[in-house]
Amino acid sequence: MGTFEELVAEGAAVPLEGWDFSWFEGRATEERPPWGYASLIAARLRDVTSALDLQTGGGEVTASAPVLPPVMVATESWPPNAAVAARRLPLVVQAPDAGPLPFRSSSFDLVISRHPVVTPWAEIARVLRSGGTCFSQQIGAGTNRELTDFMMGPQPVGGARSAAVARAEAEAAGLEVLLLEPVSLRVAFFDVGAVVHFLRKVLWTVPGFTVEGYRDRLLEMHRHIQRHGEFVCTSTRFLVEARKA
């Protein structure tokens, strides 16, 4: 393990494009949800003729499916991520996360999304065909709140990202919720460089994070990890599946 300055500089230099988290190997761990999202969407993609992947990031998860449907489209709002995804997927369209989606109504049998920033349920309902489904793994309310509080002081936990809100919004859009499964997962960081890279990549954990702006708290994080061997927090996820009648 390097010095504080070396670790911080290393975490600050890692490119942010895509959603490949392999850089964290040996430096941080996150318990995986029990359901195996990639395997579940692979099975669903195999059985449809058209699918839309919303906010695909670098397209990593969808591209891992062994079979893609004849019509496979993805959206991504951040141009660097869209460029990465375009190398993996047949068609990637730059579109705003909150919509509107640039597709005709009733265009897709399946809409998928892993960790969307926002979920535009009304637009999802519009572009789904009758009997089509939306299948998504979402980040729940209060995820990694221990990390947020360590860096910023105690913060209120809003309910906007809760499973209950997702159900209400999906139903308000005219969808029938078939599955809603929440889970809490253990996250551990083993050096402050991993914390820096995570906060740069997952922007909503500490809004407005910069190394200089949070140097004092990063130094305290470094000392905490030296004393305890890790910094532990809890992520929340939920799986939701909804069908258009």
Which residues have a Cβ under 8 Å from the Cβ of 88 and sit 6 or more positions away? Answer: 58, 59, 60, 62, 63
CB 119 within 8 A of CB 166: yes
Does residue 18 surpass a pLDDT of 80? no
Does residue 1 surpass a pLDDT of 80? no
Domain segments of the chain: what residues? 4-244
- Per-residue pLDDT tens digits for 48-79: 999 999 999 999 999 999 999 999 999 999 99
Per-residue model confidence (pLDDT) at position 20: 75
Look up the CATH superfamily of 4-244. Vaccinia Virus protein VP39 (3.40.50.150)
- Per-residue pLDDT tens digits for 79-118: 999 999 999 999 999 999 999 999 999 999 999 999 999 9
Q: Rounded CA gap, 106 and 101, in Å?
A: 12
Per-residue model confidence (pLDDT) at position 32: 95
Q: Rounded CA gap, 108 and 48, in Å?
A: 9
Tokens of 123: 């637009």
Tokens of 37: 């999202």
- Per-residue pLDDT tens digits for 201-238: 999 999 999 999 999 999 999 999 999 999 999 999 99
